[in-house]
Amino acid sequence: MQDLTGDAISRAAFGSNLSEGRRIFRIQSEQVQIANQMTNLYIPGYTYLPTKPNRRIKANAREVEGLLKGIITKKERAMKNGHADGGDLLGLLMQSNIKESKDSGSSKTIMTMDDIIGELKVFYFAGAETTSVLLTWTMIVLSMHPEWQDRARDEVLRVFGKKQPDIDGTNHLKVVTMVLYEVLRLYPPITLLDRQTYKEIELGGVSLAPMGEISYVLLFLREADQTMDEEVEQLRQALQALMAMVTESAARIRNLAVEAFSPLTLPEIQSMNLALLNIEEVATEEMDSERVHFGRRLSITAPRRRGRISHFLLQLSTDPPSKPSLPAAMAIGAMLQQWSLLCFLGALVALWWAWRVLESTWIVPRRLGRALQSQGLPGTAYRFPFGDLKEFSRLAAAARAKPMPLSHDITPRVNRLCYNTIKEHGKIAVIWLGPTPRVIVNDPKLVREILANKFGHLQKRKHNGLVRRLSNGLVSHEGEKWAAHRKIINPAFHLEKLKKMLPAFAACANDLITRWVGYVESDGAKEIDVWPEFQNLTGDVISRSAFGSSFSEGRRIFQLQSEQVQTIVKMMNTLYLPGFRFLPTQLNRKIKANAREVEALLRGIVSKRERAMKEGRANNDDLLGLLMESNIAETKQAGTSKLIITMEDIIGELKLFYFAGMDTTAVLLTWTMVVLSLHPEWQDSAREEVLRVFGKNQPDLDGIHQLKIVTMILYEVLRLYPPVVQLDRQTYKEMELGGVTYPPGVILSLPIVFIHHDKDVWGEDADEFRPERFADGISRASKDSPAFFPFGWGPRICVGQNFALVEAKMALSSILQHFSFRLSPSYTHAPFPVSTLQPEHGAQIVLNKL
Ligand code: HEM
């Protein structure tokens, strides 16, 4: 119900920007949870402390505001260009704001951007949670009273039959309305309303002074020991009594406070090793700047604050404690000893860190650079400490700044530094993105040799701990661990297992089509940005096929994983210094908090499944079930009692499925839509094939295997726009390759996108879209066969390639059955590599219902 009402607000507020809306409502729900945890004890100024909940709240608020700002700006632009539909809440709000501002004759709008953001945030707070608890209690109450459930159903069926409820009909629902009223009476979503007196008022014969609620009680105990428990308890009781009285009437505070404290004698107070006791309470003007003394050490002060409200301070002075203390000289000596030990340890850590930095940014790169140069390898020389990183960023920024024509010749935009290097130095050349040499290997034969890795001299690049938190699974394992995991994971992706997941693929594709039909029906033709739509689709597909029914938790995971990708990619394109991940920077904290949340969600899902399997009530047709079954089978075969893949390992693999399977397939579908819009003749042939094979029926696996043209098109899109533009391997032992001896520690960069566009390999038409080159299969498509590596090659080839291709064919077939499409005039062609090759400004496509 939370999902439902959040979606309802998102759609009602933002129309087609639904996916951003969803993310906002999730963050807002989290904000409510954190705020609820914090309401118990609030200390003024607390919001400024860098505590975990405070940081989280601020980061969340920034993200929500950023998202809302983006949506509003987009809407403003669309309104200016006259192609905004104003049918959603945001549109109506903005139109009304403009109209009211015009009517009032002012040049500035009445509501600023910040005001609008504030209002939108309130819609979520006020509209999502309240309506969802109403629905939830209604379901519970109607389950407890089936006779009312039946009456409500009879009424609904009488009014609507099985048709979609409409607004006229809802006005005729009498029983349903009565039920909802009664639920609202018994379970009001908001249980309590508060108001604060601001001037003196009379209410029910009692005069209430202007007064706030108790803001907090702070007990500050220093060096307390057990013998004081009793006295502390006494004082605590007195404080509670005081608080109870304070709330009665501010006018009577002083007298009652004295009463409460008079039983506490001075010797009692003195016997306590209580250095400071501090109560702050919002009080009245009457108490203003008044100090009331209790004996010698206890006083109450009420300093003025901002005229109207003042603070009420109860204080014990800090006389020397009665406990015998260390002689001053000894205490100072002990402190110095501790201090010098700390300094010494600090200096050791600093020295170690300085050595690590020097070694990694100066000694090692110079040694490796000399080893490569001496063999005549062309390329750039190392420059401390960034190498070509700054040039890389400058060229990337320059390439991004310019729009590119609607052509498939994308390599100069995707990686300008690599493009320039290949042009200047040839197909094998060195560059330095930071202090590690990177050899570009733009040769399919050598790429196959590297990916085959027959002698085990190569490994995946070792990423730092933060990157590993994104996807610590198969893709980053090496050696025996990789082999054991791959053996267990492989069966889960076999074609016959995909058959079991097909209903999940179909359900997600149907959701997408229903949503798109909804968009189009209201407008005839409709422009949508298909990139976020496909991200949602592929995230949903992984969630459903990995977790079956625990699919809604899956949604939250894929949103967090997408966010992680963005943050980590940002970090990977900067210079990484050893130990950096331990610093509490905003980026590091965000990555860790997200990783913790994803891991906790996954741990919950896996434990639930383990329990269900033990109780024999698990349905193991999803990826998680298949993985767990295969794990048990392999463990039994190996004759060990401990499972080969631990709970932590399974969590790592599941995270990886999201990371590896989501954006990759989403960009494949996105570029396919763009390319088929540019080449309508291929769109038509693909549609003819799909209609010939399936008619208007739901695509099935047998039919999917018969799709020849669709397959050729997907291959050609994967060639021109490979989702993974480059693969990296790092030498781990000395090795020989193409006549050069590489020392350990060199990165071999395999620029898939450059190989896929190389005219020497594919012919003069390499930059053109010609799916027919795949008519006789992959190996005949290029001169130097095979030179097609979208899923990698060799033992580490993508385990999910069948999954991705079946998913893409299912989605594309469903789209072709229902729509024709073309590029929108607002589309800007801007392929850009983030972790995958993404459309930088989205992919705006105009859909026409067939
Ligand atoms: C169009 C979609 C996809 C593309 C282009 C793609 C591409 C790749 C590539 C290039 C690799 C090799 C990485 C390397 O050698 O360094 C890889 C590995 C991998 N992919 Fe995919 N992938 C796609 C979809 C998926 C899906 C849907 C899943 C899972 C649900 C998946 C899971 C994996 C895994 C687990 C590995 C690691 C294999 C290993 O190291 O043994 N991929 N993928």
Ligand 1 center to residue 474 CA distance, Å?
10
Single-letter code of the amino acid located at 745: G
Averaging pLDDT over each range in 445-449, 579-583, 658-662, which range is the top one?
Answer: 445-449
Residue 811 CB less than 6 A away from ligand 1: no
The per-residue pLDDT for 581 is 66
Residue-level pLDDT at 259: 26
Indicate if ligand 1 lies below 6 Å from the C-beta of 670.
Answer: no
Across the range 262-288, mean pLDDT stands at 34
Q: Which atom of ligand 1 is nearest to the CA of 836?
A: 5
Residue range 663-716, pLDDT digits in tens = 999 999 999 999 999 999 999 999 999 999 999 999 999 999 999 999 999 999
Give the number of the atom of ligand 1 that is nearest the alpha carbon of residue 793.
15
Residue 430's nearest CA partner among 380, 466, 468 is 380
* Domain containing residue 420: CATH number: 3.30.43.20
> Rounded to the nearest whole angstrom, what is the distance from the C-alpha of residue 68 to the centroid of ligand 1?
33
CATH number for the domain that contains residue 508:
1.10.630.10
Q: Would 504 be classed as within a structural domain?
A: yes
Residues 309, 372 within the same domain:
no
Distance of CA 283 to the CA centre of its chain: 44
* Distance separating alpha carbons of residues 90 and 120, to the nearest angstrom: 8
Residue 486 lies in a domain: no
Is the separation of the CB atoms in 270 and 321 below 8 Å?
no
The residue whose CA is least distant from atom 17 of ligand 1 is: 798
| Ligand 1 in reach of 660 Cβ (< 6 A) | yes
Whether residue 588 lies inside any domain: the answer is yes
Res 218: pLDDT: 28
291 and 414, same domain (yes or no):
no
For residue range 814-844, what is the model confidence (pLDDT) as tens digits? Answer: 999 999 999 999 999 999 998 899 999 999 9
Q: Is the CB of 656 under 6 A from ligand 1?
A: yes
Burial degree of 382 (CB within 10 A; 0-12, 13-18, 19+): buried
DSSP string, 7-57: HHHHHHHHTT-HHHHHHHHHHHHHHHHHHHHHTT---TTGGGS--HHHHHH
Least confidently predicted of 20-29, 56-65, 212-221, 568-577: 212-221
Q: Measured in angstroms, how far is the CA atom of residue 836 from the centroid of ligand 1?
A: 11
In a domain, 159, yes or no: no
- Looking at residue 269, what is its pLDDT? 37
Residue 817 Cα to ligand 1 midpoint, Å, equals 28
Distance 580 CA to ligand 1 centre (A): 29
Looking at the predicted structure, is the pLDDT value of residue 752 above 90? yes
Q: Cα(661) to centroid of ligand 1, in Å?
A: 7
Domain count, the chain: 4
The confidence score (pLDDT) of residue 222 equals 28
Least confident span in 191-195, 703-707, 775-779, 811-815: 191-195
User: Which residue's CA is the nearest one to ligand 1's atom 26?
Assistant: 661
Same domain flag for 712 and 736: no
Q: Is the CB of 493 under 6 A from ligand 1?
A: no
Strand, helix or coil for residue 766: coil
Q: CA-to-CA distance for 675 and 717, rounded, in angstroms?
A: 7
Pocket of ligand 1 contains residue 474 by CB under 6 Å: yes
CB of 652 shorter than 6 A to ligand 1: no
Burial of 849 from C-beta contacts in 10 A (0-12 / 13-18 / 19+): middle
- Nearest-5° angle of CA 496, CA 502, CA 507? 170
Judged by average pLDDT, the poorest of 288-292, 360-364, 527-531, 653-657 is 288-292
- Closest Cα partner for 688 from 674, 700, 676? 676
Average pLDDT over residues 213-229: 33
Residue whose entry in the numeric block shows the structure tokens 């590029």: 823
The last residue of one of the domains, among 737, 758, 789, is: 789
Residue 796 beta carbon below 6 angstroms from any ligand 1 atom: yes
Whether 211 lines ligand 1, by a CB cut-off of 6 Å, is no
Residue 196 has pLDDT above 70, yes or no: no
Q: Quickly list H helices, 402-529.
A: 411-414, 416-425, 444-452, 465-468, 479-489, 495-523
CA of 801 to the centre of ligand 1 (A): 7
- The whole-number pLDDT of residue 645 equals 86
Distance 790 CA to ligand 1 centre (A): 9
Average the pLDDT over 5-25 and give the result: 75
Tokens encoding 280: 């702050």
Euclidean distance between CA atoms 145 and 138, whole angstroms: 10
- For residue 797, report the distance from its CA to the centre of ligand 1, in Å: 7
- Cα Rg of the chain (Å, integer): 33
pLDDT, residue 253, reads: 34
In which band, very low, low, confident or very high, does the pLDDT at 471 lie, cut at 50, 70 and 90?
Answer: low
Residue 193 lies in a domain: no
Residue 829 CA to residue 550 CA, distance in Å, equals: 37
User: What is the model's pLDDT at position 714?
Assistant: 98
* Residue finishing a domain among 789, 808, 824: 789
Whole-number pLDDT of residue 411: 97
Residues 759 and 836 in one domain: no
**Residue 388 pLDDT more than 60?**
yes
Residue 347 lies in a domain: no
Q: Does residue 614 sit in the same domain as residue 740? A: no
pLDDT level of residue 221 (50, 70, 90 thresholds): very low
Task: State whether 417 and 300 are in the same domain.
Answer: no
Say yes or no: CB of residue 475 within 6 Å of ligand 1. Answer: yes
Lowest mean pLDDT among 43-52, 144-153, 511-520: 43-52
Residue nearest to atom 31 of ligand 1 (CA): 800
- For residue 395, the enclosing domain spans 356-469+725-789
pLDDT tens figures, 169-181: 888 899 999 999 9
Atom of ligand 1 nearest to the CA of 729: 16
Q: Which residue has the higher pLDDT, 577 or 571?
A: 571
Does 539 sit in the ligand 1 pocket, CB within 6 Å? no
Contact 253, 312 (CB under 8 A): yes
CA of 475 to the centre of ligand 1 (A): 8
Give me ligand 1 centre to Cα 791, in Å: 6
Which of 493, 750, 798 has most ligand 1 atoms within 8 Å of CB, for mutation?
Answer: 798
The top-scoring range by mean pLDDT among 77-81, 544-548, 581-585, 830-834 is 830-834
The answer to whether position 678 is within a domain reads yes
Question: 602: CA distance to ligand 1 center in Å?
Answer: 20
pTM above 0.80, yes or no: no
319: tokens are: 């006389």
Mean of all residue pLDDT scores within the chain: 80
Query: Cβ atoms within 10 A of the Cβ of 673, count?
Result: 24
Q: Is residue 169 part of a domain?
A: no
Ligand 1 lined by 799 (C-beta under 6 Å): yes
668 lines ligand 1 (CB under 6 A): yes
What's residue 193's pLDDT?
77
Tell whether 755 and 826 lie within a shared domain. Answer: no
| Beta-carbon count within 10 A of 499 CB | 14
Q: Are residues 269 and 407 in the same domain?
A: no
**What is the distance between the alpha carbons of residues 226 and 232, in angstroms, rounded to a whole number?**
10
- Among all chains, which residue has been given the structure tokens 């069926």? 157
For 674-701, letters b (16+ CB in 10 Å) and e give: bbbbbbeebbebbbebbeebbeeeebeb
Distance 800 CA to ligand 1 centre (A): 6
Same domain (yes/no): 121, 236: no
Q: How far lies 342's CA from each of 355, 584, 691, in Å? A: 20, 21, 75
Q: Is the CB of 821 under 6 A from ligand 1?
A: no
* CA 298, 304, 308, 309 torsion-angle sign: negative
Tokens of 746: 């060199």
Dump pLDDT digits (tens) for 501-530: 899 999 999 999 999 998 887 767 899 999
Specify the range with the lowest mean pLDDT, choosing from 251-255, 407-411, 530-534, 827-831.
251-255
Same domain for 730 and 716?
no
Query: Does the CB atom of residue 666 touch ligand 1 within 6 A?
Result: no
Instruction: State residue 296's pLDDT score.
Output: 34
What pLDDT is attached to residue 285? 33
Angle between helices 113-144 and 52-80 (to 10 degrees): 110
Consult the annotation and say whether 798 binds a ligand. Answer: yes
Asked whether 665 lines ligand 1 (CB < 6 A), one says yes
Please tell me the least confidently modeled range out of 225-234, 541-550, 712-721.
225-234
Residue nearest to atom 36 of ligand 1 (CA): 798
Q: Which atom of ligand 1 is nearest to the CA of 723?
A: 5
Nearest CA to ligand 1 atom 21: 798
pLDDT at 129: 79
Q: Which of 145-154, 484-493, 742-751, 768-777 has the lowest mean pLDDT?
A: 484-493
Distance 799 CA to ligand 1 centre (A): 6
Residues 753 and 410 sit within 8 Å (Cβ to Cβ): yes
What is the spatial distance between Cα 250 and Cα 691, in angstroms, rounded to a whole number?
79
| pLDDT range class, residue 71, cuts 50, 70, 90 | confident
pLDDT of residue 335: 60
550/544: higher pLDDT: 544
Ligand 1 within 6 A of CB of 486: yes
Distance 517 CA to ligand 1 centre (A): 32
Atom number, ligand 1, closest to the C-alpha of residue 808: 1
Tell me the average pLDDT across 110-119. 82
* 554 within ligand 1 shell (Cβ under 6 A): no
Specify the residue with its C-alpha closest to ligand 1, atom 19.
798
- Asked whether residue 736 falls in the same domain as residue 826, the answer is no
Phi, psi of 248 (to 5 degrees): -65, -60
Atom of ligand 1 nearest to the CA of 538: 27
Distance, CA of 242 to CA of 179 (rounded, Å): 45
Would you say the CB of residue 631 lies under 6 angstroms from ligand 1? no
Give the atom of ligand 1 at the shortest distance from the alpha carbon of 546: 30
Per-residue pLDDT band at 632 (split at 50, 70, 90): confident
Express as a percent the part of the chain with pLDDT over 70. 78
Domain boundary residue, one of 144, 173, 193: 144
Looking at the predicted structure, is the pLDDT value of residue 419 above 90? yes
User: Which residue lies with its CA nearest to atom 8 of ligand 1?
Assistant: 791
- Evaluate whether 840 touches 670 at the Cβ level (below 8 Å): no
**Among residues of the chain, what percentage have pLDDT more than 90?**
38
- The average pLDDT across 224-235 equals 46
Give the pLDDT band of residue 385 (cuts 50, 70, 90). Answer: confident
pLDDT in tens, 277-320: 333 333 333 333 344 333 333 333 433 333 322 233 344 333 43
- Is residue 96 located within the same domain as residue 123? yes
Atom 37 of ligand 1: nearest residue by CA position: 475
Region 794-800: mean pLDDT is: 94
